[in-house]
């Protein structure tokens, strides 16, 4: 079974620029999550999808962050414009019904 794929693995941008991250979940997993992990902290949920619908986006800074999951498979997380405090690791995870979160390797973002 292939794991959760994410790209890019690393990204360096300047503040006020835009950036996008891509996630391909495990085949057949209906639920997809994006977590943000700031250095020295545990991951925090940004958004959760069930198929292509949003289940929970209460912690997503909607003035600058957006996410979509077209066709209920791949997902894209975008930041526009980026701030210094957005420097973090962005983790994508997927799960089957009642299954455990399976995490991808993450995208490390540095905003200068």
Partner 1 sequence: GEDVEQSLFLSVREGDSSVINCTYTDSSSTYLYWYKQEPGAGLQLLTYIFSNMDMKQDQRLTVLLNKKDKHLSLRIADTQTGDSAIYFCAVSIYNQGGKLIFGQGTELSVKP
- 3 in Cβ contact with 104 (< 8 Å): yes
User: Mask of contacts with partner 1, 33-62, x by CB under 8 A?
Assistant: x-x----xxxxxx--x-x----xx------
Cβ at position 46, least distance to partner 1 in Å: 10
CA 97 to chain centre: 19
Tokens (6 digits) for 5: 């794929």
List 7, 31, 52, 76, residue binding partner 1 (CB under 8 A)? 31
Residue 39 or 70 having the CB closest to partner 1:
39
Whole-angstrom distance, CA of residue 107 vs CA of residue 94: 15
Binding to partner 1 in span 69-108, by CB under 8 A: 91, 95, 98-106
Residue 82 or 91 having the CB closest to partner 1:
91
Q: Which of 67, 57, 55 is nearest to 97 (CA)?
A: 55
Q: Which of 30, 111, 26, 32 is nearest to 76 (CA)?
A: 32
Query: Can you give the binding site for partner 1, defined by CB under 8 A?
Result: 31, 33, 35, 40-45, 48, 50, 55-56, 91, 95, 98-106
């Amino acid at each position: 079974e292939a794991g959760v794929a994410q790209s890019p693995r690393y990204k360096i941008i300047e503040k006020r620029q835009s950036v996008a991250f891509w996630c391909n979940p495990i085949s057949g997993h209906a639920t997809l999550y994006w977590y943000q992990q700031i250095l020295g902290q545990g991951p925090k949920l940004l958004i959760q999808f069930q198929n292509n619908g949003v289940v929970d986006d209460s912690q997503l800074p909607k003035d600058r962050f957006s996410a979509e999951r077209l066709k209920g498979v791949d997902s894209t997380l975008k930041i526009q414009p980026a701030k210094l405090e957005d420097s973090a690791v962005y983790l994508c995870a997927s799960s089957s019904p009642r299954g455990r979160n399976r995490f991808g390797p993450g995208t490390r973002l540095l905003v200068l």
